[in-house]
Structure formats: structure tokens, C-alpha cells
Amino acid sequence: MNYIVEIGAPAQLYARAVPTGAVAVGIVRKKTGETGALLRFRDGAYAQMNGLVLRPLNRRDVLRAMQAAIRT
């Protein structure tokens, strides 16, 4: 798994202003240790935001990580 997701975690720690059309879902951590707010856009795309930096994420990997988070 490429990401660890904490659904409902305080995304505002990493992104104070969420872009229009996005919703903060929680926090995402990459295997590299990079952590940021997990955002979901209206079109179903996911991204990691840290400060003003927005990075797209692989949707399939995010959904797998979200399912793993729900199971634990």
C-alpha cells in the first residue's frame, strides 16, 4: 500500500484553505513520510495538500487505503 489514510483526522493542520470544489476527508501519509490533508474533488479525484502545495494522488491507491482504514 502506498498511502496511510486517517479519515476524519484534522486536515486543517496541513491545509487551512481548501480549494473550491474540494472537501477535506482527513490526513494522508505517503510511504516516504510526507503527510498532508487528503482532499476529494467533485469529479472523484484525490489530492494531498500541504500549505499551498497540491499534489494529485492515485485514486485507486487512496480508495484501498481508505478501505484499510475503515477495517481497523
pLDDT digits (tens, 9 = 90+) for 19-36: 999 999 999 999 889 999
Confidence bin at 70 (pLDDT 50/70/90): confident
Cα(first)–Cα(last) distance of the chain, in Å?
15
Task: Name 27's bridge partners.
Answer: 6, 37
**What average pLDDT score do residues 49-70 get?**
94
Give yes or no for a contact between 71 and 61, defined as CB atoms under 8 angstroms apart.
no
- How much is the pLDDT for 71? 78
- Please state, for a pLDDT cut of 70, what percent of the chain lies above it: 97
